[in-house]
Chains A and B, each alone.
Chain A
Amino acid sequence: MTAKAKLLALLAFTTAMLFFDNLAVFAVVASGLTAVIALKGHAKLFSSWLKPMVFMFAFIIAIQYVTYPLAPYSFGAVLWGVTISLRIYVIMAAVFFFVRTTSMSRIAEAFSFLPGRLPEAMTIAIAMLPQITELSGKIITSQKARGANFRSLSLTSTYMPVLVPLFGKTLQRSEKMALAMQARGYGD
């Protein structure tokens, strides 16, 4: 299957999932996708993707429990919250499966239908992802070494020491990359 076909399939699947609101369908699809991911040996990585989402799923269910228009504070409201959470879960699982089974260069190729310089921009963005991940890892480690507590949810003490240097370095890097591209005749 070509990367472009995979991308179109992913888009079709995601669109279809947005139109369904049946808990049973989501449960079956979620189980199937989870089983495939586990069989492919990606269970551990997928669980690390899911970890930050657990809080969000719990939040969605809590919000639906209170605001569900048909019957708030009922079991039905909880089921509706679970349905919405499962919808997000299956879309996430599908995106994860696409990313894990397609190389970066094939993903970039899949965007070749975009007009103008957009495919090039997509390639650069995708190529920079591992560098940004590595950079954020280094920043987190160095802030931990200075006693930063990443369990706290405080914006100023937890996220700012990571986001400020990360944005700064990323902007600096993109400026230098633009310069390096111009030095090789790009943009004339």
Chain B
Amino acid sequence: MEIKTESLGFSYPGRSVLKDISIKIKSGDFVGITGSTGSGKTTLAYCLNGLIPHAIKGHMTGSVLVDGKDTRKKSMSELASRAGFVFQDPDWQIFSLSVHDEVAFGLRNLKMKNAEKRIKNALSMVGLDGYADEVPYNLSHGQKQKLCIASVLAMEPDAIILDEPTSQLDYRSMMNIYSILRNLNRAGKTVVVIEHDTDLIAEYAGSVIVIDKGTVVKHGKPSEVLSDKKLLGKLGIKVPEAYR
């Protein structure tokens, strides 16, 4: 599934966040989006799966095309089944009283068939087999993040967009999440991840987008983008170990 933005701009009431962003994410890509705090990364991610303009108020200019079709012309549920979104804090997303029900939520909304099989597969993909009857609140933070990924995977989207999925995790859980993402990417899914940790992007992503003040300042392979010490230093982004 290809995601393309053409001269994308977005302003929250009284505050411009994105300006003239034109990027292309090809089917099967593993893309890392990085930038300093407040640079517009999360807003861009909201645009990519249609939360903007469908669920978030503001003024959007330009367009986002998912497989050539404008997100404005597609419903949120159509887009949800194409590009799944995992939020930064799992506690913002989880609300059901069992792991099973949490994963089933999206399937119920989209009236998808073979729900039980999909739930089982999704939980297995993230290593939560046997947790279906658990209360999500009792899971560890890493397990909750895996549950959020599973609840998106159950809808079998072509792309999965994650907003800083490892920001509150320890090193082992971080690696665990990224190895799940790598497996998903190898299975053909497009993965877009917003990430502050450039070491992780350098290791896992196939391409990197650097954003500053709402515009794309560099887009390319990690070896080209993350080795630009001058640019990263200017933007306050850490140069990954591999390119020091």
Residues in chain A within 8 A of chain B (CB atoms): 103-105, 108, 123-124, 126-128, 130-131, 173, 176-188
Contact = CB atoms under 8 A, between A and B. Distances in A.
Interface in B80-122: 80-81, 84-85, 87, 89, 91-98, 101, 105-106, 109-110
Nearest to A128: B95
Nearest to B155: A184
Contacts of A104: 97, 135
28 contacts: A103-B135, A105-B97, A105-B98, A105-B135, A123-B95, A123-B96, A127-B94, A130-B137, A173-B92, A176-B92, A176-B93, A177-B93, A179-B56, A180-B87, A181-B95, A181-B105, A182-B51, A182-B55, A182-B80, A183-B49, A183-B84, A184-B105, A184-B152, A184-B155, A185-B109, A185-B110, A187-B76, A188-B75
B199 to A, nearest CB: 27
- Nearest first, the 9 A-B pairs at minimum CB distance are A185-B77, A184-B106, A185-B109, A176-B92, A105-B97, A180-B93, A188-B77, A185-B80, A183-B85
Given A104-B135, A176-B87, A188-B75, A183 B80 contact: yes
A181 B54 CA distance: 13
A16 to B, nearest CB: 30
Contacts of A177: 92-93, 95
B61 to A, nearest CB: 21
Contacts of B80: 182-185
Contacts of A185: 76-77, 80-81, 106, 109-110, 155
Interface of B: 49, 51, 54-56, 75-77, 80-81, 84-85, 87, 89, 91-98, 101, 105-106, 109-110, 135-137, 151-152, 155
A132 to B, nearest CB: 11
Given A105-B135, A131-B137, A186 B92 contact: no
Contacts of B76: 182-183, 185, 187-188
Nearest to A104: B97
Given A185-B80, A185-B109, A131 B56 contact: no
Contacts of B54: 182
Given A108-B97, A176-B92, 8 more contacts: A126-B97, A178-B55, A179-B55, A182-B80, A184-B105, A185-B110, A186-B105, A188-B76
Nearest to A126: B97
Contacts of A123: 95-97
Contact of A127 (B77, B89, B96): B96
Nearest to A130: B137
A187 B96 CA distance: 16
A188 B95 contact: no
Contacts of B81: 185
Contacts of A131: 91, 137
B56 to A, nearest CB: 7
A98 B155 CA distance: 36
Contacts of A127: 94-97, 136-137
B52 to A, nearest CB: 10
Nearest to B106: A184
Contacts of B137: 127, 130-131
